Amino acid sequence: MTQQKAWRAAIVHCIADPKEVGVDAAYEYFEDGLLVVEGDKIQALGDATSLLKDLPDSLLVEHHPNALITPGFIDTHIHYPQTDMIGSYGEQLLTWLNTYTFPEESKFHDKQHARNVADRFLAELLRNGTTTALVFGTVHKVSVEAFFEASQVHNLRMICGKVMMDRNAPDYLTDTPESSYQESKELIETWHNKGRLHYAITPRFAPTSSDEQLALAGKLLSEYQDVYLHTHLSENKDECAWVQELFPHSQNYLDVYDQNHLLSERSVFAHGIHLCEHEYQRLHDTGSAISFCPTSNLFIGSGLFNLNKAEEHKVNVGLGTDVGGGTSFSMLQTMNEAYKVIQLQNENLNPIKSLYLSTLGGAKALRLEDKIGNLAIGSEADFLLLDKKATPLLTSRLALSKNIEETLFVFMTIGDDRAIQATYSAGQCVHQRDSF
Stretch(es) of the chain classified as CATH 3.20.20.140: 73-329
Stretch(es) of the chain classified as CATH 2.30.40.10: 4-72+375-432
Predicted TM-score (pTM) of this structure = 0.97
Note the CATH number of domain 73-329: 3.20.20.140
Domain spanning 4-72+375-432, CATH architecture: Roll (2.30)
CA 81/CA 113 separation, integer angstroms: 10
CB 383 within 8 A of CB 362: no
Please tell me the predicted confidence (pLDDT) of residue 379.
Answer: 98
For residue 338, give every residue at least 6 positions away whose Cβ sits within 8 Å of its Cβ, in sequence order, or none. Answer: 292, 294, 319, 349, 354, 357
Please state the length of the chain: 436
Please tell me the predicted confidence (pLDDT) of residue 324.
Answer: 86
> In this predicted model, what pLDDT tens digit does every residue of 340-367 receive, in sequence order?
999 999 999 999 999 999 999 999 999 9
Q: Taking the chain, what is the end-to-end CA distance rounded to the nearest angstrom? A: 37
Please tell me the predicted confidence (pLDDT) of residue 1.
Answer: 54
Residues of the chain with pLDDT under 50: 436
CA–CA distances in Å: residue 216 to residues 62, 183, 192: 51, 12, 18
DSSP 245-260: HH-TT-SSHHHHHHHT
